[in-house]
Amino acid sequence: MSVPGSVRSRLPSAGTGYTNLVMAGDWTLSAISSGCVEAAVMSGMHASRALCGVPEAIVGDSLPDGDDVARPAPAVAPSRPATLAPPTAPRGEYVEIDGNNTPLQPYAAQNVTMYNFVLEADMDRLQAILDRQLNLGGPTVYRPLGPFLSFVAATMGPMAPAAPKAWLAEKDFGFWIPVLAGQMDGGRFEALRPAFFIPYLWVDDYLPQQAGREVFGYPKGVGVLTNPTAPHEPAEFSIDALVVPRYGAAGDPEAEWTWRRLLTLARRDGGTLGELIGELGDVRALGGAVLEELLRAFARDSLPMPTLSLLRALIDSAVDLEVPMVFLKQFRDVADGKQACYQAIVEAPNRVTGGPFNAGFLPGDWELAIEQFDSVRLIDRLGLRAVGGKVAAAFQFWVQFAFTADPGHVVWRVV
């Protein structure tokens, strides 16, 4: 039997709240969640998989076993009590709708050129962003890699999903925070892997905005994004975006959403982009050169963390050609908009699939002129070191490659 509304109360086989107890029976949460032999069998398989990993797949039932939600969470975010996650809700198959603009991942991107401008940032502000958006009580804790982040301007295309068979060209301009994902061991942070978190990102059309937000949790806004497209063009990138200059009452002209220049990134001497000279021809060469520049720019005293050897190990791991991204994926609840009806920390790799790979440094001194608005305060939130609204880049480089935005996994489902 499965009376209406009762499924949400079913526990998954391993979702007992105890690491040494699993359950089986037609009354647990399964893809069927009803009193029949098939449900009893699926439940038994969930219990078995939670205990010994077999069977790997349960035909017709892609629900997790529940052991991902049963472990007690370490106390990591003092502002939020660590709580056990609720049972995993049953999932439906994604309903494809004609004209639906959220295509199936993975998304394969070719002809990617990524311009990367490394900026100094305040560790406490970066940590505050990570605590607010990622450290929500789950077992994985995120810390900034160091007192820096990157403004990344990327152009790519064709960008093609798995289905439907179609493509578009895309621009992505935003701020990338290199982070360490780890766990708390007592009061000590143990770093496990590097990742990137993007708290601010603009794209040049609503299609990539929608897919990026819905599938992964990229906080994409739509902007008018400009960049140099030839060596003789001025070395200038810009974002115009919808902003609110000053929050206020409806009708207040300053409180109206309006298109404004958000940032302009340019060479201080007003020079041209120039030829891109690919002096760093593989990932290891790029990683080594970036590490040297990071140390030159930010290790004046010492990097707060991680240690130099850890940083080197992280660069080496980048040679695996996987750039893990971490996201806050959430949807606002329809009844109580202050609550999320779905909220999860998600990780997904961007896998470098090939080339032609090329990379090098961009010549010249670059600076970012940033306007602050009530709706987006980049300097304040990111803790950028600004003088008169201008932020100098410590160093800058470009990379050309192809990559695939692969399916990811839920690290911690809050609701």
Ligand X SMILES: Cc1cc2nc3c(=O)[nH]c(=O)nc-3n(C[C@H](O)[C@H](O)[C@H](O)COP(=O)(O)OP(=O)(O)OC[C@H]3O[C@@H](n4cnc5c(N)ncnc54)[C@H](O)[C@@H]3O)c2cc1C
Binding site for ligand X (CB under 6 A): 25-26, 35-37, 40
C-beta of 36 vs 168, nearer to ligand X? 36
Dihedral sign from CA coordinates of 21, 24, 30, 33: negative
How many angstroms separate the CA atoms of 11 and 232, rounded?
63
CA atoms within 13 A on the CB side of 137: 16
Instruction: Give DSSP secondary structure letters for 380-415.
Output: HHHTB-EETTEEE-SEEEEEEEEEEE---EEEEE--
CB of 106 to ligand X, least distance (A): 38
C-beta of 37 vs 230, nearer to ligand X? 37
CB of 45 to ligand X, least distance (A): 12
List Cα–Cα distances, 415 to 80, 83, 183, 329, in angstroms: 14, 11, 21, 11
C-beta of 25 vs 158, nearer to ligand X? 25
CB 350 within 8 A of CB 241: no
How many angstroms separate the CA atoms of 39 and 24, rounded?
10
How would you class 78 by CB atoms within 10 Å of its CB: exposed for 0-12, middle for 13-18, buried for 19 or more?
exposed
Dihedral sign from CA coordinates of 137, 141, 142, 147: positive
Compute how many other C-beta atoms are within 10 angstroms of the C-beta atom of residue 213: 20
C-beta of 37 vs 57, nearer to ligand X? 37
C-beta of 40 vs 369, nearer to ligand X? 40
CB of 87 to ligand X, least distance (A): 18
CB of 38 to ligand X, least distance (A): 6
CB of 7 to ligand X, least distance (A): 15
How many angstroms separate the CA atoms of 174 and 154, rounded?
9
C-beta of 65 vs 172, nearer to ligand X? 65
Cα angle vertex 397, ends 198, 144, to 5°? 35
CB of 54 to ligand X, least distance (A): 19
How many angstroms separate the CA atoms of 352 and 359, rounded?
14
The backbone torsions φ and ψ at residue 326, rounded to the nearest 5 degrees and listed phi first, read -120, 145
C-beta of 25 vs 234, nearer to ligand X? 25
CB of 89 to ligand X, least distance (A): 21
CB of 34 to ligand X, least distance (A): 8
Q: Which of 5, 53, 54, 45 is nearest to 25 (CA)?
A: 45
C-beta of 9 vs 302, nearer to ligand X? 9
CB of 44 to ligand X, least distance (A): 7
C-beta of 7 vs 295, nearer to ligand X? 7
